[in-house]
Structure 1
Amino acid sequence: MGSLEETETALSEDISFLLARASALSVAAANAALAPHGLRARSYSVLTIVVEGLNPSQKDLAEFLRLDPSQVVAIVDELEGRGLVERTPDPADRRAKIITPTPDGTELQADAASAVSEAERSTHGLLSPKERRQVAELLRRLAFPGDRSA
């Protein structure tokens, strides 16, 4: 028998399994590319959203990234400890804090984004640019089912 990767199984047609496996491969490549920057895929995701100027709260980040709020608190704590983000009062809700980038956070995110883009090109290199756009569109439709613009 050859390796499992070369064997057709019922999972070869299981969309959820294929999505999970493709995600695991992508995340592993992203984490390897982000390691020199002291980031991992989750912390990079938080930093990227914050740098985009969306002024998210920790609750917003947890909901968007589908993470437990305690995970987001730990990620923000780590980023804040490194001087990459700050918690500032939310003018709309004095009990909440919004997460904003520091200049160092903005600079690191830009450097890390280049590394992630290269890892993505390598990981998804079997797909043509058109196929990558198609996959991204299909995944957006699955990830954001209520978004009619997708």
Structure 2
Amino acid sequence: MTESVPAAAVPSVSHSDASEGGPADPATDTPAGTGGGAAILRDPDRLRDTDLANEIEFMTARARSVGSRRANTMLAELDLRVRSYSVLSLACSGQNPSQRELAGFLSLDPSQIVALVDHLEDLGAVTREQDPRDRRSKVIVATLAGRVLFRQAATVIQQAEDRSLQALNAAEREQLRSLLRRIAFEPAP
């Protein structure tokens, strides 16, 4: 990645960021929206040689945080965020996922899925329909407007990914994708 952001200033991005003053200002040690007084400017490269900066769990979490923040900023014009885009993408997959399946696949609490689906319903992008396999369950189905929104958002996500991975060539990107799929979807022994 070429973006220089101090590790301590990169929080996990969630749908509640806006109500909590947003993520920290990357140029200072002051959270955004707090007024912060006389913040001290930090050298963004100062901590890159620490042991933490070489830990895989930290690097994957940091890459996710930086990438999600970039994608959320770019998706904002469509009134989406990475999580709502993810739900919309799965709704457009033709799989008609249940809210429970969405929660499991996205590693989110079911209550978070309810809020995300509510937002997408408010946008007219999805509907909840009775699951033909289980009458007690609802499936999430994309509307025509949702499919149009998804195509627009997928283009934005691709642009965000291209920016995040600009330091990698095509073969390196494919290798990264393959390794991440193994980590994310293959069960640990």
For Structure 1 versus Structure 2, the TM-score category normalised by the shorter chain is over 0.9
- Does the alignment pair 1:85 with 2:126? yes
Q: Which of these residues, 94, 100, 111, is aligned with residue 152 of structure 2? A: 111
How many aligned residue pairs are there? 147
Q: Which has the larger helix fraction? A: 1
**1:25 maps to what in 2?**
66
Closer/same/farther in 2, CA of residues 59 and 5 from structure 1, 3 Å limit: farther
Secondary structure, aligned partner of 1:39: coil
TM-score with structure 2 setting the length:
0.74
TM-score with structure 1 setting the length:
0.93
Distance 2:46 2:126 in 1: 41
Distance 1:24 1:109 in 2: 22
Moved more, 1-10 or 40-49: 1-10
RMSD, aligned CA: 1.6
- Does the alignment pair 1:129 with 2:170? yes
Distance 2:76 2:43 in 1: 33
Secondary structure, aligned partner of 2:64: helix
Unmatched 5+ stretches in structure 2:
1-41
**2:52 maps to what in 1?**
11
- Identity value in percent: 45
**1:146 maps to what in 2?**
187
Distance 1:91 1:55 in 2: 10
Distance 1:104 1:32 in 2: 22
Distance 1:8 1:17 in 2: 13
Q: CA deviation at 1:12?
A: 2.1
Structure ranking higher on relative contact order (CA contacts 8 Å, 6+ apart): 1
When Rg is computed on C-alpha atoms for both structures, the one with the higher figure is 2
Give the ranges of 4+ consecutive aligned residues of structure 1 lying more than 6 Å apart after TM superposition: none
AA aligned to 2:110 is P
Distance 2:102 2:69 in 1: 22
Unmatched 5+ stretches in structure 1:
none
